[in-house]
Amino acid sequence: MKQQDIQSAAAILWQHWQHTTRLDELPAHCRPCSRAEAYAIQAELARQSGQPTVGWKIAATSKAGQQHIQVDGPIAGCLLAARALEGGARISLAGNNMKVAEAEFAFRMGTDLPQRTAVYSVPEVLAAVATLHPAIEVPDSRYADFTRVGAPALIADVACACWFVLGPATRADWRAIDLVRHGVNAYRNGTLAGQGTGANVLGDPRVALAWIANELCTYGEGLRAGDVVITGTCVTPVPVTAGDRFKADFGEFGALEAAFI
C-alpha cells in the first residue's frame, strides 16, 4: 500500500470519528488487505488526530467476540489521550452505534517492552507491569456494519476504540491472585447485568497482555513504560442508553462507575 493511500484511509476514518458518522467500507484503493497495512493506517490515524496515545486496547479476546465480528483472533487498537476518562465520568452516547459498556482488567506498564525478534513470555511481560487497574470500555466503530468488514478494516479503525474509563491502581496483591478465576460483576442502574471472570479474556488477562506485547513487536514499536493496556471484556458487553449508570465491580481490586448522557 502506498503512503498516500495509508494517509487517505486514515483521513477518512478520522473524519468519521470526529463527526460520529459511518461508512460502509473504505474505498478499494486504500482498503487494507493485511494486518501490516491496517496497523500502518491506525498509526497514521493517531498522528492525524494530533493526540498522544496513552496505551492500547485488545478487542475480540473471547470466542464469542471473535465470532460476532468475524475475526479469527484478537486485534489491537491504540488509545487516544482525549478518550481517557476517570471514574464517575459522564459519557455521551450521541452518535455511538454500539452502545455497550465493558468491564476490563487494565495493566499499566512500568518498563518498556521494545521490538525484538524473540517472543516475549508471560512472566517477562508481567515483570514489566507496574500496576493493575479496573477499567470500563465504551467501544464504537466508524463502520455501519462492523461485523462484516474483517480484521484489517477493524484494525485500521483502531479496533473499535472510543472511550475508556480507568480506575485507581489496586492496592491488592494482584500478582498473588489467580486472575483467571477472579470474578467481575457489571451493574446497570444498580441491577446486576453481567458476571464473568478473567477466563473470558483469552483464557487469562495476563496471556492477553503478552499477546499484545508480541503483536506490537511485529506491527509496531512495542509497549512503552506508562502505557495502559485494557485487555478485553470479562463480561458479555452490557447494552446502555442515555440516562444509565454502569458499574464494574472487580471485588478486592476495586470498582468504578460511569454515567451515560
CATH number reported for the structural domain that contains residue 142 in this entry: 3.90.850.10
Q: What is the mean pLDDT of residues 43-65?
A: 95
Residues 176-196 have pLDDT tens digits of: 999 999 999 999 999 999 999
16: in domain = no
Q: What is the mean pLDDT of residues 142-159?
A: 97
Cell of 61: 479476546
132: in domain = yes
Structural domain that includes position 249: 52-260
Instruction: Quote the pTM value.
Output: 0.97
Binning pLDDT at 50, 70 and 90, where does residue 25 land?
Answer: very high
pLDDT of residue 46 exceeding 90: yes
Return the pLDDT at 63. Answer: 83
- The DSSP bridge partners found for residue 230 are 57, 106
User: Do residues 191 and 107 lie in contact, with contact meaning Cβ atoms separated by under 8 Å?
Assistant: no
Residue whose C-alpha is closest to residue 218's, from 36, 26, 8: 36
114: in domain = yes
Binning pLDDT at 50, 70 and 90, where does residue 62 land?
Answer: confident
Return the pLDDT at 72. Answer: 87
**Secondary structure in 3-state letters for 78-146:** EEEHHHEEECCEEECCCCCCCCEEEEEEEEEECCCEECCCCCCCHHHHHHCEEEEEEEEEECCCCECCC
Return the pLDDT at 9. Answer: 98
Q: What is the mean pLDDT of residues 218-241?
A: 97
User: Do residues 164 and 230 lie in contact, with contact meaning Cβ atoms separated by under 8 Å?
Assistant: yes
96: in domain = yes
Residues 247-258 have pLDDT tens digits of: 999 999 999 999
Residues 65-88 have pLDDT tens digits of: 998 898 989 999 999 999 999 999
pLDDT of residue 41 exceeding 90: yes
Return the pLDDT at 98. Answer: 96
5: in domain = no
Q: What is the mean pLDDT of residues 86-91?
A: 97
Amino acid residing at 90: R
Return the pLDDT at 181. Answer: 98
Q: How far is CA 153 from CA 32, 85, 115, 129, 182, in A?
A: 6, 26, 24, 30, 33
Return the pLDDT at 68. Answer: 87
Return the pLDDT at 256. Answer: 97
**Total structural domains in the chain?**
1
Q: What is the mean pLDDT of residues 119-129?
A: 98
36: in domain = no
Return the pLDDT at 214. Answer: 98
Binning pLDDT at 50, 70 and 90, where does residue 216 land?
Answer: very high
94: in domain = yes
81: in domain = yes
